[in-house]
């Protein structure tokens, strides 16, 4: 396997990982919104009342059914959002580095090909004379 092929494969792999990271971000957004909606709907339906909020994480002084699942969805959604964004940025930087190196490898190869073709053309001119 040549260096160019290796760089091409790594760039494709990094692109795939970047897409996976963005899907992780979207899943986190769905979990987060689902957890918020579950918490708000259960608070309105039950007699416990509105939850206390720490930033955007709800907590209750009295436990009731459904509070844990809403909190779990919110926390897992936030972690997926954060890790999805971080992984997406990391893989994007990796892919740009691979593409720069691939461009360098291609330009070096093209330069060598042009110099060889110029030498061959010069040899053919000598042979004709």
pLDDT means per 10 residues, the chain with 129 residues, are: 82 92 96 88 66 68 71 92 95 90 81 69 63
Quick one: pLDDT at residue 71?
A: 84
Q: Which of 102, 77, 115, 119 is nearest to 9 (CA)?
A: 102
Q: Report if pTM > 0.75.
A: no
Tell me the two tokens of residue 56.
Answer: 């955007």
17 vs 2: CA distance, rounded Å: 23
């Amino acid at each position: 396997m040549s260096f160019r092929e290796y760089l091409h494969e790594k760039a494709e792999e990094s692109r795939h990982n970047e897409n996976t990271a963005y899907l992780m971000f979207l899943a986190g957004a769905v979990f987060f919104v689902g957890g918020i909606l579950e918490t708000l709907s259960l608070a309105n339906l039950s007699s416990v009342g509105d939850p206390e909020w720490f930033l955007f994480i709800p907590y209750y002084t009295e436990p009731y059914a459904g509070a844990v699942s809403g909190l779990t969805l919110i926390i897992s959604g936030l972690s997926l959002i954060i890790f999805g964004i971080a992984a997406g940025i990391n893989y994007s930087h990796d892919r740009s580095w691979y593409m720069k190196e691939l461009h360098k490898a291609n330009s070096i190869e093209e330069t060598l090909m042009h110099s060889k073709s110029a030498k061959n053309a010069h040899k053919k001119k000598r042979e004709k004379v």
